Amino acid sequence: MNVVDGRTTTSFLEEVGKINDPRTTELLEQLDREGKNYSWGEIFSLVHMLLGDRSSARWICEDAAGSTSAEFLTVLDRKITNEELGRVSSMVARRLNGEPLQYILGYWCFRTLKLKVDSRVLIPRPETEQTVQVAIDVINGWGSPADELVVADLGTGSGAIALSLAAEVHRSLEIWATDNSAHALDVAADNLIACSNELVQLPILSLGSWFEALPPRLRGRVSIVVSNPPYISHAERIFLPREVAEWEPEGALIAGESGLEGITAILSAATQWTTDDGVVIIELAPSQGEEAKAVAKDNGFVDVQILSDLAGRERVLVARR
């Protein structure tokens, strides 16, 4: 029996969930017969085989080894320690149970920031990175750089949008980040502290639903609203991947019967809170573009367009008063 610092491959098999898969068992037994301690290269190959996903295997092994992507290439021949194997085993078991990789790692990279993420918040996605870019372009093209703008990130979750704006925009902003989940705001607060050295300005976190979380003094003074609200309908829930439906917070995913409830709530109240030249930027599902445009125009927005994501799908509503 192969032993790695006192830990056998049998214990490794047990820790990855007692997998009842003949191919996995055969591979582990083959490694046992080799009679040598595992190197990181061998563990990486094993994890890759177990998960069937090279990228996830690489993320897990790099994290367990405490190395960057570039550094990991230099440790492939090094023997894995008992502590490192324990970390790998735990993470592989969680991934095989369907838990998203980002929650297992406890963080994810979003634009220029490394953000804490767990099951209290949505996992930041590339589509939202593009929503942030739209907001940055609008802000940078707004009036005099000396003007202070009030920006509201409604439904901030992990704080990804608000913190990215705070890190990347080099002009005076008063940024508010709201969420109706106290648990989500706890994550955003942790990220605010962790990223503080990278921020040009510090967002203000506020608990409440959409605009209701903002102080009355901001009514009519918000220049730019940005949001990635829930936009999935109850009926569409069955089409979500298991790792999304079972692990990510339902309140941040499911909007209601139509899927437009959150978008409509924001647009219907926006003219009361925004300046006369205010802009609302909302991420949406590709199928919602025309309906969302109609809602915006019904609520007093005169210049409304839908921008496409990098895959060419309609993704971001930009509504100007």
On whether both 89 and 136 belong to a single domain, the answer is no
Task: Say if residue 113 is in the same domain as residue 92.
Answer: no
Question: 145 and 21 in one domain?
Answer: no
DSSP bridge pairs for 174? 150
What is the number of other CB atoms lying within 10 angstroms of the CB of residue 91? 24
Mean pLDDT computed over 46-62? 91
Q: How many domains does the chain divide into?
A: 2
Residue 303 placed within a domain: yes
The answer to the question of residue 102 being in a domain is no
> Do 113 and 251 fall within a single domain?
yes
For residue 116, is pLDDT > 80? Answer: yes
- Which range among 50-54, 109-113, 149-153 shows the weakest confidence by mean pLDDT? 50-54
Give residue-wise pLDDT tens across range 190-228.
999 999 999 999 999 999 999 999 999 999 999 999 999
Shared domain for 204 and 62, answered yes or no, is no
* pLDDT > 80? residue 109: yes
Considering the domain architecture, whether residues 176 and 92 belong to the same structural domain is answered as no
Contact 72, 65 (CB under 8 A): yes
pLDDT higher than 50, residue 6: no
Provide the pLDDT for residue 24. 53
Same domain, 146 and 244: yes
Residues 119 and 265 in one domain: yes
pLDDT exceeds 60 at position 311? yes
State the alpha helices, DSSP H only, in 16-125: 22-33, 40-51, 54-65, 69-72, 82-96, 101-105
| Segment 273-304, tens digit of pLDDT | 999 999 999 999 999 999 999 999 999 999 99
pTM over 0.85: yes
What is the pLDDT of the chain when averaged over all its residues? 89
Are 162 and 235 in the same domain? Answer: yes
Residue 254 has pLDDT above 80, yes or no: yes
Same domain as 122, residue 76: no
Domain boundary among 37, 71, 97: 97
pLDDT number for residue 42: 87
Please check whether residues 83 and 212 belong to one and the same domain.
no
Instruction: Look at residue 131 and tell me whether its pLDDT is greater than 90.
Output: yes
Closest CA to 268 of 313, 312, 229, 314: 229
Token pair, residue 239, equals 């089409």
Of 97, 127, 162, which marks where a domain is finished?
97
Q: Where in the chain does DSSP place strands (E)?
A: 3-4, 7-8, 107-110, 113-116, 149-154, 173-179, 204-207, 222-227, 232-233, 254-256, 274-283, 303-308, 314-320
**Strand 222-227 relative to strand 274-283, pairing:** parallel
CATH of the domain at 253: 3.40.50.150
Q: How confident is the model at residue 12 (pLDDT cuts 50, 70, 90)?
A: low
Task: Give the tens place of pLDDT for each residue, 146-187.
Answer: 888 999 999 999 999 999 999 999 999 999 999 999 999 999
CA distance 264 to 308: 20
Domain containing residue 252: 107-320
Do 124 and 264 lie in a common domain?
A: yes
- The helix-helix angle for 40-51 and 54-65 (nearest 10°) equals 140
Domain boundary pick from 51, 69, 97: 97
- What tokens appear for 124 in the block? 């930041």
